[in-house]
Amino acid sequence: MAELDLDSADGRREALRRMVTIRAFDQEAGNRFADGEIPGFVHLYIGEEAVGVGTCASLESDDYIASTHRGHGHCIAKGLDPKYMMAELYGKAEGYCNGKGGSMHIADVDAGMLGANGIVGAGPPLATGAALSIDYQDRDQVAVGFLGDGAVAQGQVHEAINLASTWDLPAIFVVENNHYGEGTPVEKQHNLDNLSDTAQAYDIPGVTVDGMDITAVAEAVAEARERARAGDGPTMVEAQTYRYRGHYEGDEEPYRDDEEVERWRDQDPIESFKDRLIERGELTQEEFDDLRAEIEASIDDAVEYAQETDAPEPSAAYEDMFVEQPPELERFANVARTDGGANGGDHR
């Protein structure tokens, strides 16, 4: 049984809920970043919701995903709780990574989420590795590596796909082609119309689907999952999509015009899916408005929680370097600690 059954009304409703949750979460993350409450950078997923939710809909809940710098949508699609996600964005002790990761490194390994990633192209090798563990221990799972169109130009991505393909590992590579890598359009990065054509080099299926259509993504990933579980190796799924916001918040977007953005907004993944559900008679506009209001309220609660929950103690900075902590950490911490340290700042 897949995580969400898009053939059932309940499954479709839940998929819609997750897409709306991603949008509401990222809208608030953008606002709070603009207010200066969230440190660092944030890369928003708005416009690309159908890719993350469509992919995760076709996974089992214990499957793995390795994400990217644009990872909030993947987290919510995988079922992570926006409350602890927001706390992580705020750098709080109760965040998924106890405040040590932030937006670019949110992870919940127990939930199968192997981390957002600050390094473009670093996720696919990790997904190949998760697929190796699965294969080695004969587990009934798959691993998805998400990557952007820009990341397709990275060497380690191709090494990872080649390895997974050579070993027939249960991996799926989902290329989120949002048509830009920062400010550089995809045509200036690749001499290919379809990035999924790169799959040919590894003799694995490569398909390009409409990434604004959740069912198209979900179907392609479901097929890829079946293939992976049958022992036939990886698949590359390229989802054509678009990010409405800048590369990161604060991007002035000199590389595109409003008209282009509008053209993509006309195919909005949430609006179009919602309209389909209304057409089928399983949702009304009022119900949708209520759903959205309810989700937005829950995101407000998440923000409030993130604002109010405690920051980590400074001394936590010295924890979690290793499973078995070497004496060096205590040694140097004793000198560096702002609270003077256990031994009054002495080396010995």
Partner 1 sequence: MTAQAELEQETETMTVREAIRQGLREELERDEDVYLIGEDVGVFGGVLEVTGGLYEEFGEERVRDTPISEAGFMGAATGAAATGTRPVVELMFSDFMGVSMEQIMNQMAKMHYMFGGKAELPVTVRTTEGGGMGAASQHSGTVHTWIAHFPGLKAVAPGTAASAKGLTKAAIRSNDPVFVFENKMIYEQSGEVPTDEDYTVPIGEAAVEREGEDVTVVATQRLVGESLGVADSLEGDVSVEVIDPRSLYPLDTDTIVESVEKTGRLVVADESPLSYGTHAEIATRVQEEAFFSLDAPIQRVGTPDTHMPFSPPLEQEVLPGDDDVRAAIERIA
Ligand X SMILES: Cc1ncc(C[n+]2csc(CCOP(=O)(O)OP(=O)(O)O)c2C)c(N)n1
Contacting residue, 286, 328, 338, 340, with partner 1 by CB under 8 A: 328
Contacting residue, 140, 266, 304, 320, with partner 1 by CB under 8 A: 320
Q: Residue 59, SS3? A: coil
CB of residue 144 to Mg ion, shortest distance in Å: 17
- Nearest-angstrom CA–CA distance, 286 and 292: 10
**Beta carbon nearer to ligand X, 23 or 69:** 69
Per-residue contact track with partner 1, 213 to 242, x per CB under 8 A?
A: ------------------------------
Per CB under 8 A, 326 contacts partner 1: yes
Helix (H) or strand (E) holding 18: helix 9-34
Contacting residue, 99, 124, 148, 206, with Mg ion by CB under 5 A: 148
Give me the residues that bind ligand X (CB under 6 A), please. Answer: 69-70, 118-120, 148-151, 178, 180-182, 247
**Residue 189 to residues 55, 155, 193, 286, 289, Cα–Cα distance (Å):** 25, 14, 11, 44, 40
Q: Within 171-210, which residues bind partner 1 (CB under 8 A)?
A: none
Q: Which of 247, 226, 244 is nearest to 235 (CA)?
A: 226
Per CB under 5 A, 149 contacts Mg ion: yes
Per CB under 5 A, 178 contacts Mg ion: yes
User: Residue 188, class by beta-carbon neighbours within 10 Å (0-12 exposed, 13-18 middle, 19+ buried)?
Assistant: exposed
CB 107 within 8 A of CB 75: no
Q: Within 58-117, which residues bind partner 1 (CB under 8 A)?
A: 64, 66, 95-101, 105, 107-110, 114-115, 117
Per CB under 8 A, 163 contacts partner 1: yes
- Nearest-angstrom CA–CA distance, 1 and 39: 39
- Nearest-angstrom CA–CA distance, 336 and 103: 27
> Which partner in Mg ion, ligand X, partner 1, none is near 281 (CB below 5 to 8 A by kind)?
none
CB of residue 214 to partner 1, shortest distance in Å: 27
CB of residue 230 to ligand X, shortest distance in Å: 30
Could you tell me how many residues of this chain bind partner 1 (CB under 8 A)? 52
**Beta carbon nearer to ligand X, 153 or 317:** 153
CB nearest ligand X: which residue?
Answer: 148
**Residue 95 to residues 44, 87, 99, 108, Cα–Cα distance (Å):** 18, 5, 6, 10
CB 67 within 8 A of CB 123: yes
User: Dihedral through CA 294, CA 77, CA 24, CA 146, nearest 10?
Assistant: 180
- Nearest-angstrom CA–CA distance, 247 and 196: 23
Where do contacts with partner 1 occur on this chain (CB under 8 A)?
64, 66, 95-101, 105, 107-110, 114-115, 117-119, 122, 124-130, 132-134, 136-137, 143, 155-156, 159-160, 162-163, 166, 319-324, 326-328, 331, 347-348
